[in-house]
Amino acid sequence: MVPSPLNGVLVQPRLTQHRIAAVMVDNYPIGTRPQSGLAGADVVYEVEAEGGVTRYMALYLENAPAKIGPVRSARMYFVDLARPYNPYFAHAGENDDVWEPLKELREEGFADMEEILGAEEAFWRDDSRDMPHNLYTSIADLRAAAPNHGWPDTPLGKSEFTYYGLTLAPRAFDVTVNFWRPYQVRFSYSGGAYRRSIGGDVQHDLEDASPYGIADVVAVWIPADVMDDQGDLKMNVYGSFPAIAVRGGLVTQGTWTAIGPDDLPRLTDPDGDPILLTPGQIYVEVLPQGGSVEIGNQTWSY
């Protein structure tokens, strides 16, 4: 057994030899929840898409859910967040400002598995839900379709965060994450993991009523600018940003550093040492300026 390069869980070595898949997953409040396949993600980024509504970018390596979605469109900052992982980047379209940069990245070898123009055979529609919230993919379909477009199944070859294998004695505080507008996420510590809720509803996959069991919550504040009256955002994700990490109910304040598209992000404490995370599923909450995190009687905001 070897540790997963994404979340530190011990897995069979052969499972780490695949290319990571990064899938854009819908989180619109109506017609999308429960989602499919998020329980099997190694790392999930949550970032505002526009107008106060967030979207997920779910990263997969050792698990291969048979249904992931609903799949939605990309933003440039999601592309930039994905690039250090060199993934199969699965999405359905993108904002206008993303088209030309993404075209250039495709020409440079970025595995852009777009449903509309690039790899439609890896996606399908589920008629039990209304468009546009009914597009799905699977890890098997992405891996099968990618070689047809010149994208080999290449392993990452580098590790992300630093993990420890011991369980901390928990201080079971809930974690509340508030984005720009009233869009609130709550993580409640129970049975050695965090249960995640939105709008008071505990999250689980459509196909399985078991609540998500999350090991680590990371919040990072990255400034964003509103570009238009639709609430579309512009965000430079490369740099150093204030962050906190929560694992086992313990909170560590630190810094999230993402040097650029060739380097995985690093999470360090005030002394510059890596913050140790618990092996298991990680949620990275990317908050704009003014977003806040509440834990116990403390509030963090930048």
**Domains along the chain with CATH numbers:** 2-149 (3.50.90.10), 162-301 (3.50.90.10)
The DSSP letter of residue 115 is: T
Let me know if 223 is exposed, middle or buried by CB neighbors in 10 A (0-12, 13-18, 19+): middle
Q: Within the chain, what is the greatest distance between any pair of CA atoms?
A: 53
Q: Which amino acid is present at 197? A: S
Q: What is residue 117's predicted lDDT score, i.e. its pLDDT?
A: 79
Q: What is residue 297's predicted lDDT score, i.e. its pLDDT?
A: 87
117-124 long-range contacts, Cβ below 8 Å, gap at least 24?
118/149, 119/90, 119/145, 119/146, 119/148, 119/149, 121/145, 121/148, 122/90, 122/146, 123/71, 123/90, 123/92
114 in Cβ contact with 147 (< 8 Å): no
Q: Which amino acid is present at 216? A: D
221 in Cβ contact with 291 (< 8 Å): yes
Report the helix count and the strand count for the chain, using DSSP H and E.
Answer: 3, 24
Whether omega for the bond prior to residue 132 falls within 30 degrees of 0, making it cis, is: yes
Q: What is residue 167's predicted lDDT score, i.e. its pLDDT?
A: 52
List 193's β-bridge partners, or say none.
190
Q: Which residues contact 176 (CB under 8 A, 6 or more apart)?
A: 184, 185, 186, 187, 293, 294, 295
Torsion over CA: 105, 107, 110, 112 (sign): positive
Whether omega for the bond prior to residue 211 falls within 30 degrees of 0, making it cis, is: no
Distance between CA atoms of 294 and 300, rounded to whole angstroms?
Answer: 6
Q: What is residue 165's predicted lDDT score, i.e. its pLDDT?
A: 60
List 184's β-bridge partners, or say none.
178
- pLDDT tens track of the chain, all 302 residues? 999 999 999 999 999 999 999 999 999 999 999 999 999 999 999 999 988 889 999 999 999 999 999 999 999 999 999 999 999 999 998 888 888 999 999 999 999 999 987 799 999 999 999 999 999 999 999 999 999 999 999 998 888 888 876 455 556 579 999 997 668 999 998 888 999 999 889 999 999 999 999 999 999 999 998 887 777 788 999 999 999 999 877 889 999 999 999 999 999 999 999 999 999 999 999 999 999 999 988 999 99
Q: What is residue 268's predicted lDDT score, i.e. its pLDDT?
A: 95
